[in-house]
A and B are shown apart, each in its own frame.
Chain A
Amino acid sequence: MSGPHPYDELAAHSLDALDEPRRAAVQTHVEECAECAVLHAAYLEIAAVLAETAPPAEPSPGLRQRLLREAQRSFTARQPSAELPREPAPRRGTRRWPFAWSIPRSVLAAGLALAILGWGVSLQLQVNALSAQNAELSARAERYERVLDVLSSPRFESTSLNPDAAPNAWGRVYFDADSGQGMVMVGNLPPPPPDAVYQIWLIRDGQRISLGTFRTDVDGNGYVLIQANEPVSHYEAIGITREPGPGSPAPTGPRLLRGSLHQQV
């Protein structure tokens, strides 16, 4: 690393305001020193906001074409190996590939086909991964839409879940009083063992109706979207128990959280 840390000069350097030769020296140091590089990047963040006071302006459309053409040209220049090599003339006296000339063309063709097949498989895997990512994003977007539906409902209501057998846990239920759609959020509820889940119950006339199961993360937080067959306000209470996975037809574990659905806040 080049010299002591230039802490006092990093602010000025982010504005390119250092005089030579300090400008070059500090730049060299920043490139070599991770600590100063981070500090410099933080100053660059602040300096960048100054750029936002510049009047909006758009470059000419030709700039994009010039840039991409130049990039493409340097790409081609950097990738000579991307082109299929011409068939080389046998090297006299070389021992590097002493048997290459004797490999039948059919074997070479089969090898090439296998290579292309391998590349195709690789591309297919990439497609699959992107498809899975796309599905996950779509599912997430759908969940967010449902959350927004609940929160924007004109009959939006919420009630807190009070701890029973889980003294440190907390929770809250948000729901659309008309539709039966809602969500449950909990905190400080330790993740259940791998063979268990948390299960949500609606309570009415002594009966328990399951609303589904969920797990909490390592921090004890979790949320789940719920959908009741009737408006949630038709029920008396809501509770959460821990059940053997994948859930039980009726509660078997102690009630961990409970909330009244007739005293919404």
Chain B
Amino acid sequence: MGSILIACDQHSTIPCRAESALPVDYSRFDDEDLVELIAHQDVAALDALYSRHARASFALALKMLGDRELAEEVVQEAFLKLWRRPEAFVRQRGRLLPWLLGVTHNRAVDLLRHRQIEARHHVASDPGEVTDGSVSVNPEAYAWSSFRAEAVARALASLPVAQRQALELAYFRGLTQSEIAAVLNEPLGTVKTRIRLALQKLRSSLEMQALRTEAEEV
């Protein structure tokens, strides 16, 4: 979708929240268009983005932190960052969801490192075992995310064990490369190479899966 017509600009003294002017169907806008509306301080656009991506952001934060309250705090901060600094997301550089998950991850890593909650996290449970029994999960979203998760799990399984281990320690445990090297008792250079290769292979593997899926559909 192209640019959106906005009746007012950022320098206007007239409030330019779309919801106050027009009944807008936000489901018609793609993520990046909604960010444009957010730049015009459209709260309803923020709400629409929240509806789309809060689950993914929360699931990641919960898996990393193992604490619902902290995870919600991280999600709120991620969305508020977008609200307060929408220009931090540049649509020409990529899609919104990876950017938003990046912000979520970044904040969760900060918490893991600076609040030293990792010890508590270990006691609570393994990150992969975190469940969400207290709140019902949308069945359609659950089915879709399960399907995607299986594809990613297959791609991860195709990585050499050492690379997968380095990747998971970095992404889900929030360890730095030096910390991973210490944990695994490997040279730092080896860890750096493993992480870079792991991401590259993961991409190739996912692309191959996508190609296979398309080929099966034809």
Contacts and interface: CB of A to CB of B under 8 A. Distances in A.
B131 interface: yes
B95 A82 contact: no
Contact of A47 (B22, B102, B131, B142): B102
Contacts of A47: 98, 101-102, 105, 171, 199
B168 to A, nearest CB: 8
A263 interface: no
A59 B141 CA distance: 14
Contacts of B131: 55
B146 to A, nearest CB: 7
Interface in A171-192: none
B56 A51 contact: yes
B177 A18 contact: yes
A68 interface: yes
A199 interface: no
A228 B97 CA distance: 47
Main secondary structure of the interface of B (DSSP, over half): helix
B59 A50 contact: no
A59 B152 contact: no
Contacts of B41: 75, 78-79
B117 to A, nearest CB: 16
A23 B41 CA distance: 31
Contacts of B13: 81-82
A129 B180 CA distance: 55
Interface string A92-128: 0000000000000000000000000001001101110
Interface stretch (A36-44, A208-216, A254-262): A36-44
Closest 6 CB pairs of A and B: A41-B94, A57-B132, A48-B98, A54-B63, A17-B170, A54-B59
Given A14-B199, A18-B177, A51-B56, 13 more contacts: A17-B170, A17-B171, A17-B180, A37-B90, A38-B93, A45-B95, A48-B102, A57-B132, A59-B55, A59-B75, A78-B41, A123-B22, A127-B22
